[in-house]
Amino acid sequence: MYKNILVPTDGSPLSRASVEKAVKLAEITGAKITATPVLYKGLLPVGLRTTTEQRALAERAAARYLGYVESLAKKAGVSVKSVHVTDEYPASAILKIAKKEKCDLIYIASHGRTGFRNSMLGSQTGKVLADSPIPVLVHR
């Protein structure tokens, strides 16, 4: 069925639940997981921290997020590859990683924002859904 499932994660509780389900799907189908943290390039306002501090915070967050995926995958006997990319456009980065890593499914969480809130904040999941050439499974 699936051979390589891309699992973007932002470390939120919903994303963690999505990771758990994605690992279970990979276990059932014999797929491997390609995991990537979803971090905006401008994680913190520029005036509050230096670029070096921003980068260090982002790297520590990414390591925590990926560590969670890796620990679940290891327990399930699922092969996992971690790919970390910092980008101003997470949806675009997710699609680039999916293409580069030859993923055949993107398993992504949705925070369920609708209407005005979605239009103001933007939906990375919605952008992935709209632009993905491969199947996208949305966990809500």
Indicate the helix (H) or strand (E) that contains 64: helix 51-76
Contact 109, 14 (CB under 8 A): yes
Kindly report which listed range (46-50, 103-107, 110-114) carries the lowest average pLDDT score: 46-50
**Domain span at 57:** 4-139
CATH of the domain at 115: 3.40.50.620
With H, G, I as helix, E, B as strand and everything else as coil, classify residue 87.
strand
This prediction has a pTM of 0.86
Number of neighbours of residue 107 by Cβ within 10 angstroms:
25
Residue pLDDT, tens place only, 6-16? 999 988 899 99
Handedness of CA 118, 104, 42, 44 (dihedral sign): positive
pLDDT at 121 over 90: no
Number of domains in the chain: 1
